[in-house]
Structure 1
Amino acid sequence: MAQGHVIPTLYMAKLFASRGVKATIITTPLNEFVFSKAIQRNKHLGIEIDIRLIKFPAPKNDLPEDSERPAMMKEPLEQLIEECRPNCLVTDMFLPWTTDSAARFNIPRIVFHGTSYFAQCVGASIKRNKPFNNVSSDSETFLVADLPHEIKLTRTQLSLFEQSDEESIVIPYSTNQVTLRGVW
């Protein structure tokens, strides 16, 4: 799991657990140590968060033993869902295949983005409207449309991905969000 997604995962689990909902973080052996310390600290505060490990199948190719490929988690996750019978699945946006897993067990899936909602809105507006195409230089400002306040940026403030017409990365995530019950 990307380190920038660990803190939001812990905060959400803590939020659920502090309201009496049983919260379980599902992770891999490689990431267990990242969560364990924080979970122990929360126990001292009376907040109970469980941790369950998913073991990856043995590498079938040249992957190192400790490498992790999220798509390889589907079968072990579904075995865990079968065993634990959760009421809901909250998953990272970079695990779009969990939509199918949740549907298979008829449980809602809520996706979370580690990125702030404001940044998501700005990014969506830029992808949709491409305002950077209407400026004559990289340093000229353009207005980001469809936001409640005036936000101006320059091309130099955008990543190459934001300036491209490449949709191959975005499509699996945005298409999968159509079937979601919620987005955080």
Structure 2
Amino acid sequence: MSFENNEDRRPNTKPLHFLLVPLLAQGHMIPMVDLARLLAARGNLVTFATTPINLARIQPIVERAAAAAASTLQIRFIELSFCVADAGLPDGCENIDLLPSMDLLFPFLNSLHLLREPLEAHLQAPDPFQWPRPACLISDNIQNWTIDFARALDIPRLIFQGPSCFFLLCDLLINRHVVELEAAMAAASGGPVILPGLTRPIRISKHELMLTLRSDPGWFKFIETMKELEDTSEGILINSFVELESWYIERYHEEIGKPIWPVGPLSLYNKEEDAKAVRGRVSSIDNKFLLQWMDGKEPGSLASGALHTIRWSRLWRLATG
């Protein structure tokens, strides 16, 4: 496991070519663009692959990266055709938040393999810049087609995880101990119980177990797909940093037995205020109202709900981007 965060650009070494394939969701693509800039800033070559609609949606970020690339960074953004009609999806549904109904979520996730053929065609086409073949593929843990794709290229495949390591560890333990947790919660008359596997006690409630979604066969398949992607990867990149959650990073490393590289917080790579302003969609909640709401709460009351997002689990994290 490496926690090194070296700012050197390795000018005397041969540049590596990283191929980034993010999930088609805003909350995944935006930090992956930041990751692309971070890799390129260290003298590497980066290809960022997505679809036309998604590239248009992050155009302000792409333009900033392209401006930097003109002087120092070497990043290419490529468009992959995504025939959503072949997956039975409405026209234009190239992003999770563009789906008209969450009933289409699993069909959408199961259609992501359609990106493989156009990506292969791009890599096989003559390259006017004569970049070397990719030396490493980085994707989300949803793109299951990248397993065979990376094997065909004979290159390592890394997974990029956007949430905190606290979330990742708790999510892993909840899925591993779900039967035990359900029994303990029944014995406690539905009250909160301690999550096993942590030396620091974390209590979870019935909401965190996501009983309804776990009864869906599609949910089981979804969990198994993510597990396979993680099990067959060479390591994990997380959008966090050691000083924030060193204990959880160590425990997560012990649980998955793979190298972990904390590369975050990637949002801080955008040091200019106007650069941060163009990231993602405009919030539907006024910042002043939000701060006033937080100021009106009892001290410590917001921290007590730190595990609240676990109840949406990975599925709703994907849906909301």
Same fold (TM over 0.5): yes
Class of the TM-score when normalised by the shorter of the 2 chains: 0.7 to 0.9
Report matched runs for 1:42-53 at 5 Å. Answer: 42-45=65-68, 46-53=72-79
Report matched runs for 1:9-158 at 5 Å. Answer: 9-45=32-68, 46-57=72-83, 59-60=85-86, 63-68=89-94, 69-83=111-125, 85-130=133-178, 131-135=181-185, 136-138=188-190, 140-158=191-209
Q: Which residue of 2 aligns with 1:169?
A: 222
Q: Give the greater-gyration-radius structure (CA).
A: 2
- Matched letter for residue 147 of structure 1: L
Number of equivalenced pairs: 183
Query: What runs of 5+ residues in structure 1 fail to find an aligned partner?
Result: none
Cα separation, 2, equivalents of 1:17 and 1:27: 18
Cα separation, 1, equivalents of 2:152 and 2:77: 23
- Matched letter for residue 49 of structure 1: I
TM-score, normalising length from structure 2?
0.51
Indicate how the Cα distance of structure 1 residues 19 and 61 shifts in structure 2: closer, same or farther if over 3 A, else same: closer
Residue 149 of structure 1 aligns to a residue in which SS? coil
What fraction of aligned residue pairs are identical, expressed as a percent? 29
* Superposition deviation, residue 90 in structure 1: 0.7
Cα separation, 2, equivalents of 1:34 and 1:108: 29
Cα separation, 2, equivalents of 1:102 and 1:61: 23
- Matched letter for residue 97 of structure 1: W
* Superposition deviation, residue 60 in structure 1: 4.4
Residue 35 of structure 2 aligns to a residue in which SS? helix
C-alpha RMSD over aligned residues: 2.5
Indicate how the Cα distance of structure 1 residues 67 and 58 shifts in structure 2: closer, same or farther if over 3 A, else same: closer
* Superposition deviation, residue 57 in structure 1: 4.4
Compare relative contact order (CA 8 Å, sep 6+) and give the higher one, 1 or 2. Answer: 2
Indicate how the Cα distance of structure 1 residues 183 and 164 shifts in structure 2: closer, same or farther if over 3 A, else same: farther
- Matched letter for residue 61 of structure 2: A
Moved more, 106-115 or 165-174: 165-174
Indicate how the Cα distance of structure 1 residues 47 and 137 shifts in structure 2: closer, same or farther if over 3 A, else same: farther
* Superposition deviation, residue 18 in structure 1: 1.3
- Matched letter for residue 102 of structure 1: A
Q: Deviations over 1:10-34 (max 9, x none)?
A: 1211211111111121010110123
Indicate how the Cα distance of structure 1 residues 61 and 48 shifts in structure 2: closer, same or farther if over 3 A, else same: closer
Query: What runs of 5+ residues in structure 2 fail to find an aligned partner?
Result: 1-23, 95-110, 128-132, 238-321
